Structure 1
Amino acid sequence: MPALPDPDAPDARITALIIVGALVLSGGLIWLALGDWVPLMLFAAGLVGLASLIMVYRRQFPARVQVQAALPDWSVTHAATDHPVIAIAITDEAGRMICANQRFVDLFGSEVVPPKLPLAGQGGDLLAEAGRAAWRDGHGGAAGLVTAGTRIDAAVQRVGRGQDYLLWRFEPVQKFDLALEADQMLAGRPGRALGEGGFMAAAISPEGRIRAANSAFAARAAGAEAGNVVGRDLASFLRADERNRIYFEREGRKGVPLRLFHLPLVDPLHTTDPEEREKAPALVVLIDEDASGMDKGTALGYVQNLLGLLPVGLAMTDRDGRFLFANDAFIRAAGITEGTLPPYPGDLVVREDKGALADAVRRHASGQAMSADVALRLRHQPDEPVTLSLAGLRGMGDAAVLLSIKDNSEESRLKRQVAQASKMQAIGQLAGGVAHDFNNVLTAIIGHCDLMLMRHSPGDSDYDDIQQIRSNSNRAASLTRHLLAFSRQQTLRPQVLQLPDIVSDTSELLKRLIGEKIVLEVQHDRNLGPVRADPGQLEQVIVNLAVNARDAMLAKRPPGGTLTIRTRKITAAEVRAMASDILPADDYSAILVEDSGVGIPPDVQARIFEPFFTTKDVGKGTGLGLSTVYGIVKQSGGYIFVDSETGKGTTFSIYFPVYRGGAVEQRSRKPVKVSAGQWGNARLLLVEDEDMVRAVAERALTRQGFTVVTATDGEDGLERLTDSGPFDLVVSDVVMPNLDGPGMAMEMRKRMPGLPILFMSGYAEETLRQSISIDQVHFLPKPFSVAQIVDAVHGALAAAATPTE
């Protein structure tokens, strides 16, 4: 056993005496050579200074000396590292062997030092890298090393008070023996548990000899639980009759037939050869049968254990309809919270369905083996029907009917969402069509009022009545805009904007709207992306939500609360974390409007976005506030969600996708100022299928000096172009029978390229521009006044007269 030098040994003292003698001799030689005290004193001073530096260094860095001075007794270390399985070695910084146990010598020999060991393949490189890692990080390791056919795992650790030794541990990897594990299980507690459950089990070798057996097998095969069955042939304990039924030999023909299960004790993932599986050890399990088949009690327990493992809700009843068994999935689906099954399945359903379920169970229990489905409503959720499947059982003892419950809650939820979406879409189409037709009526009313006001001065008796009619018509036009907003057909003027700017511009108005009993809090995230929306309509969204929140908080007792408006930056990663089926994974800028009001009941939340639906008293709400919000958000490409809890408040979350395009071109909406009579001699073709709208527009334009030719639809307009053309401008409706406005305009452009066109429509301009592939067209939204149509015509003529750059 090698040992390190001891600084207190005699060799060290002799070395010190030699050094002192050499110094004295050197001083004497200097005196003899020079004969002067000055060099001798300088030499002595240098020696004193050098000794002082050495002492200071030893005080500053004493660890090395202390470690060397406190080295352990390596014989004790050698005794402590002795291990029959794990090979252990200790090396120093120079790579020299300090200590190794006998297992290391047996495994690698006495002449080798880690990491230079006789390892197969790249094992030496792996072990060397583990040693370097241990010097660097304090520990290292290498797995799967092979030496002399033995697979080992190595672990290296830096040890010692000075951290200047490496401890090497080499542990053999023991192969898992499934057959050996089975032997130990059968002889122990798991084997007894199998016996109590009616299972007789034995592990056999490839030759058919018993390796191990549980006490139940020994009792039946040898007549005693401690019977000597190990080492004997399994076939010697069994026999078969003429019908190939298996019995225990000692029980004779009066014994109970057996059912045998054979399980090879091999890893199915690594052993795929059929011959290898047949030659492997096996586990044999036997259960009792009677002459007619499987024992009823044992079979029922076996089936119950099997059903308990399945994720489908399954239960069994007897012939009287009483529950015998139900698995956990059935208990969860049936809403059983007490932890125990009720006596009958009818106790799980509502009163109206008890009779139908009892008749179905009785019919399946007493008749032929059959199956059927019954739609029922469970007591814990009467509004969500579920499907209960029934099947008759035969040969299962007391079990007569198998029940299977299907949880339809998710399916019902999806159906409700689809139905709600379809209903909202149908309502939107209806609202859009009604608003479009109503706009034509309002256009005629407003136009005639304007024409009448031109003939009456403010002092006339009829002036106030006409003005009142015009005011009510404008109010009706506002309602149609709400309907168009809900049906996503409103005329929007989108811009690239920042949501915090819109919220800040609206805050002062909101403070006046919500009153003094409600506190307004505004919070903004940083670095929100821009969105593309109509700022005016976006302000209307915020105001409508704030008004609803105010009413909800004033309905509390005591009234009041906090209205919080937040802007948030939502990344695509956060959207994916939400796992939403509606919101696509993208970057969003969001507005959250949160109140502390009374909340929205669950049955009302599904209808809050429907037009004309309101929970307010008669005369206190139109029911168009939230439907307008819904339409504006959807038409702007956004998404809106509501989260509410009764008594705690409501949060509306609006997500707008971040706009990544360039700056939006802002088209001027201001009336074009022209001098009187500048376009008075222009010839116009007016195409409108509504007689009242056409009459108002014709009178308004004729009063301005235009020459107006009218047509009732697109085909009539093409004929007028041929018979009465050319024209300086075509003013046309979009939706018309036979041939619509865009179709007519494309035919006219083929005959007269560059012909100016002004479309009149109650639908959204953005939607029309996307569906009409015609360049250089202008739009006039309905309803319009006399002044508005005149300004629109002037603007279209001026744009046509301006040269294009």
Structure 2
Amino acid sequence: MASIEFDDLQHRLKALEEENARLRALGMADQTGRRRAESALAESEERYRTLFNSIDEGFCIIEFFDGPHGPLSDYIHVEANPAYTQHAGIPNVVGQKVREMVPAEADGWVELYGGVLRTGQPIRFERELVATGRHLELAAFRVEPASRKQVAVLFQDITSRKRAERELQQLNETLEARVIAALAERKLMADLVEGTDAFVQVVAPDFRWLAINGASAREFHRIYGILPKVGDNMLELLEDQPEHRDAIRAVWSRALSGEAFVEIAEFGEPGRSRRCYEMRFNGLRDGEGRLLGAYQFSYDVTDRLREQQRLREAEEALRQSQKMEAVGQLTGGIAHDFNNLLTGIIGSLELLQTRLGQGRVKEIDRYVTVAQGAAKRAAALTHRLLAFSRRQTLDPKPTDLNRLVMGMEDLIRRTVGPEIALEVVTAGGLWPTLIDASQLENALLNLCINARDAMPTGGRLTIETANRWLDDHGAGERDLEPGQYVSLCVTDTGTGMPPDVVERAFEPFFTTKPIGQGTGLGLSMVYGFVRQSGGQVRIYSEVGQGTTMCLYLPRHYGKDADKPSALTTRSPARQKASHTILVVDDEPSIRMLLTDALEELGFSVLEAHDGPTGLKIMQSDATIDLLVTDVGLPGGMNGRQLADAARTTRPALKVLFITGYAENAIIGNGQLSPGMQVLTKPFVVEALASRVLDMIKDGTGRS
């Protein structure tokens, strides 16, 4: 189309030139002819100008001249139609020289159009204008006569077409590559599916195989003795093996219903080889979501399961070994400490017996004092062990930690000594916590003593309370449930602890102190007590920078906190009382001591060795003012069950539980019914007397 237009325009221009020449010649012949010629020439030029300005293609006439680069080495644009700017992208081209417009491209254009001028042979070509980035299709011919040194150029912008051609070419070039890649990918996937150890099956809703890889077919043959292929019906193949057919139908029916699931099951003929498989099922759907069937990826996990079982057995053996090692360390520590204490008790009693036989009564007090001291230390050791194992009897009450800490400030200051500066920082609006205040006082004192020992040359000890709201992250770092907690932190500026010591700090009988300066039960007692109270203990320490021990205790949402208990024990009122007390304990020596101690106070005492016997007495007509019973009793009825049964007929009965192990599941971890209290073994007679006299209250609550 463009070529026809170029040829037509070229012919028209030549015709106009020839007519103009003829009219000029006629004009010189005579005057009349000249006027006629001028009129015709004007019409011809008008037609030329109309054609020149209205054609869609760009058109220009260039004229060569001699320049610095030699004869006819440059040209100037003498005419250009409006479409020139549209197609070439260069405005106001008339009067511009090519070497000024595009210096870098000028030689090429001069050589190209100069050839047309010299030879008179028209040319047609395509060229990209580097200056504007446009692609042009051009035609050029010489304007006659040659002496005018002019060349006419006709062109149009074909940039869009060239871009489309390039894109089509790129598409054609990449299409083949994409097809090759797609085929290669398909082959790769096929090779992967066929070469994998996984068992791959695709099944239609009628239980026929749409696809099955070689591994799956071979495994099916190995287990069932049948080699399947695409198109076979798995249920028909197993027609003579109904048990296996039904198992396969059950699992594939779920998948063919559209369910996606993972299942581990065992398949195979008992006489052959039964194996365990992890099977991953999913529905096969088309682009519109319609269910076409189901597919399965299976793996033989028999060896993996066996290895996991061996690993579990090895881990269990390791845990048992670690447990026995811990028990050995614990029993060794207990044996060492108790042997020392028992030596003092037994030796004192032997010497006491010897001195009584010799009549040397004056020396008796010294041996009694030694035996009592050793026995009390043994009791303290037992309490520490129970605290570590979270089996001690607690009496939790709403407690204000600020008041507890401030109440102990003077005692702690005297304990740590003048070389250590004590600072107490209490938080405003501190939440209460449900805790056994006396046990917490012991724990705080223990932490302060440890801090003092870590600062042999003095330092600063800081006790701080705070409210803590722990989110999932903060609670997870402290092994707690997310929620609100109250913290009690003790910070020292002492020697600090290396990581291996921090890791073992709560182990019973582990201590870094010299022999004779620590039992290694202090921190384990604190840890067990706090954990039993629903909290957590964390150590933050760096060698040479000091240590912070933080207790995190759950916030209590009940009533206002009670005042913390004092560290002193009041003496019981030694008043006589005429009341009857039933003592139930399976240990004869304890019944004897309880009976003698209570009779010494003036009470009438009845005894029973187990729960059923005690219940018979309670169901009799005897007047009973107080039931004193061990919690752990033989005979199928423990102390709490005895008390509850007795209260069915004696609702106002008061009960004092005595326990040496703190069976908290039985007594409710301190949450006892009104009129019930707990006394922990071992105890001194004064503690028993004080508790009994408080509960009797001069005859109230008589049953």
TM value normalised by structure 1: 0.42
TM value normalised by structure 2: 0.47
